[in-house]
Chains A and B, each alone.
Chain A
Amino acid sequence: MTLFKSITFDDEKIGQAAVSAPLISAHTSEETAFIDKLRAGEEAAFETLIDRYSGDIYAMLYRLTESPEEASDLTQDTFLRALKAIKGFRGDSELKTWLFRIAINESRNRFRWWKRRKRDLTISLDANVGDSETRFSDTLAVNSRSPEESALAREREYAIHTALQDMQEIYREAVILCDIEGLSYDETAAALGVNLGTVKSRISRGRDELRRRLKDF
């Protein structure tokens, strides 16, 4: 008979194994050439970078801040910081993951002394989604089959928004990156600057916290 051996998320060996693994560049030759152009400070390359990733960066920052103005400012700060830091980019992660990490740091720097969790925040369903003209309420439950389901979906998403903002920042970041932005656990760990075990723990705790807050839905 084999007794079960529990596995904890604080097992540093998992993270250390991931970190000590040899770096395998996922960049194709085209991507490598693109990175070289970025390092050389080519304007066209940076414009391409903005075209590719500004939408993702803005969406992620909007999720973190729930403010289009702050998300816009932080997006600009992110790309300006990337311009300064590109020469130090070693290519050991995807550009998107690297940009996400810069954006996360910019967001943390701005809100560190704002004590953001204590700030009262209400999200209006009539507020526009990001920088667009679309309201939150217009984007909800597009695939619902009935008005009742649409209304329920609308309430649920509103509750999710509120619950996300009420969560601790470390869990909110993990949930947004992994569950909303679709980053893998490894990419999320790289973006947050933590090991894999910590990411797993934060994602688990974040989802569990959401589940408890949304149990009525």
Chain B
Amino acid sequence: MPNDRSRESESWVLESRKAENWRLFESTSNIDHKITENAADLKCRITARALSPDLQETAGVSQPFASRYFTAMKCSEIKTELALYADGNLTGGEQSSVKAHLDTCPVCRQELADLNAIKASLQQMARPAISVSLQDQLKRSVRTEIRRDKFSWLPVSGEMRAIFNFRIMPYAVGVMATVVMAFTLLTAMFSGIRDRGIVTASSPLGSDTVMLATNRSPLQKQYPDSLTASEYAKTRLNISSESPSVNPQGALIALTRSLVRGDMKDDEVVVVADVFGDGLARIAEVIEPSRDSKAIVELQKALASDPAYSPFVAANLDKRSDSVRVVLRFQSVDVRTGMRPRKRR
């Protein structure tokens, strides 16, 4: 371990014999100081016993070290204390320790000065001001919330009410609206219609819905009002890309007519089917199964029948893609009619 006790101009080196390889560089405040890279890690703990009298003289210390440096701190410890020291938030002993270090360390003194300057700058920063309009808005919001809590028909806490209002009510309103719309639409569709019929589900429920199947008379084999495939497709060109047009002369309508004439045991049968470019189709999935075991079989036969009696209009007439997946729903809908209701077998 080097034992350098040389005094270089205004700087001096102290070496403690007791501490391992500790060297303290310090300079006066009048000249450039040399601070080693490890200065912050140096322990400044120097005992009186470690310091020989000649070193004390070299350091220019007039008082014995024992009475002067008994609470030495290292710079790294000082750094974390400086902010509190600046705020006066240290205990008496801590305050003295920091002050003692600051008396001997110009680096830490400069850091303290920097911290005080920053603190002063922070306190002098422009203060964002809240506008009167925002304050009024706050008051309105609070008043509304208070009155809502006081006069609510729902005797639950505000949190529960918030859950009800924002999570349940939107769905409830949506469901209710759907039910009302569906009921209104069905009523509007079938009120005043004297014939009982089935509207194929591939047609959208709307103003362009065309009644394709009726039971006007079981003896009437011809339906003078029935449309051709191309005529019907023309009426639905704006939606046919998403909803293939049922072939009015096809097997699907024939099947539904037989259901109308006969006895439809099911209130609803729902299937998913793939409709191809030639108008034929194939059941992909049964959503609402039929109570009639033969119904699905008959339906599949109708969908995959002779292309001349294809269930759907060809893709080129519908201006649609060659393959479309659809949901087919067959519903038994009771409507007002002047005819005596048929007895169910």
Q: What is the interface of chain A, defined by CB distance below 8 A to chain B?
A: 1-4, 6-9, 41, 43, 46-47, 50-51, 54-55, 58-59, 62-63, 68, 71-72, 75-76, 79-80, 83-84, 129-132, 134, 136, 139-140, 156-157, 160-161, 175, 179-180, 182, 185, 200-201, 203-204, 207-208, 210-211, 214-215
Q: Is the CB of B138 within 8 A of A9?
A: no
Asked if B66 contacts A58 (CB within 8 A), the reply is: no
Asked whether A54 and B71 contact (CB < 8 A) given A129-B129, A157-B125, the answer is no
Identify the closest chain B residue to A128 (Cβ): B128
Stretch touching chain A among B26-34, B55-63, B142-150: B142-150
Residue of B nearest to A178 (CB): B87
Could you list which residues of chain B lie within 8 angstroms of chain A, going by C-beta atoms?
45, 47-48, 66, 70-73, 77, 79-84, 87, 89, 94, 97, 111, 114-115, 118-119, 121-123, 125-131, 133-135, 137-139, 141-143, 145-146, 149-150, 158-159
Complex Cα gap A6–B90 (Å): 13
4 closest A-B pairs by CB: A130-B128, A139-B126, A131-B131, A58-B130
Question: Is the pair A84, B126 in contact by a Cβ cutoff of 8 Å?
Answer: no
Task: Please tell me which one of the listed residues A41, A50, A72, A180 contacts residue B123 in the complex, with CB atoms under 8 A apart.
Answer: A180
Q: Which residues of A contact B159 (CB under 8 A)?
A: 84
Given contacts A51-B135, A54-B138, contact A132 B111 (CB under 8 A): no
- Contacts known (A59-B127, A62-B128, A84-B158); A179 close to B80, Cβ less than 8 A: no
A and B contact pairs by CB, cutoff 8 A, 28 listed: A1-B66, A1-B70, A3-B45, A4-B71, A4-B97, A6-B73, A41-B150, A43-B142, A46-B142, A46-B146, A59-B130, A62-B128, A80-B142, A129-B126, A130-B129, A130-B131, A131-B134, A132-B129, A132-B131, A134-B129, A156-B121, A160-B122, A160-B125, A175-B122, A179-B119, A203-B83, A207-B118, A210-B122
Residues of A within 8 A of B77 (CB): 6
Docked CA distance A3–B97 (Å): 11
Whose C-beta in chain A lies nearest to the C-beta of B147? A43
B83 touches A204 (CB 8 A): yes
- Chain A residues lying within 8 Å of B111, measured Cβ to Cβ, are 211
**Residue in A closest to B97 when the chains form the complex, CB atoms:** A4
- What separation, in Å, do the CA atoms of A84 and B87 have in the docked complex? 36
Candidates A6, A136, A160, A215; contact of B114 at CB < 8 Å:
A215
Closest to A156 in B: B121
Given contacts A55-B130, A179-B119, A214-B118, contact A200 B89 (CB under 8 A): yes
Instruction: Classify the interface of chain B: helix, strand, loop or mixed.
Output: helix
- Chain B residues contacting A157 (CB-CB under 8 Å) are 121, 125-126
Taking the nearest CB of chain A, how far is it from the CB of B181, in angstroms?
36
Assembly CA distance A54 to B146 (angstroms): 18
Q: How far is the CA of A84 from the CA of B141 in the complex (A)?
A: 13
A208 to B111, CA, bound (A): 9
Assembled-state Cα–Cα distance A175/B83 (Å) = 11
Of the candidates A76, A132, A210, A214, the one whose C-beta lies within 8 Å of that of B138 is A76
Cα A141 to Cα B144 in complex, Å, equals 42
A136 and B146 contacting across the interface, CB-CB below 8 Å: no
Given contacts A180-B125, A204-B83, contact A50 B139 (CB under 8 A): yes
Cβ contacts under 8 Å, B66 to chain A: 1
Distance between A211 CB and nearest chain B CB, rounded to angstroms: 5
Bound CA–CA A80/B141 (angstroms): 8
How far apart are the CA atoms of A4 and B73 in the complex, in Å? 7
Residue of A75, A157, A207 with most chain B CB atoms under a 10 A cut-off: A207
In the assembled complex, the Cα of A54 lies from the Cα of B131 at a distance in Å of 10
Choose from B47, B83, B149, B150 the contact partner of A207 (Cβ within 8 Å).
B83
Contact, CB under 8 Å: B129 / A207: no
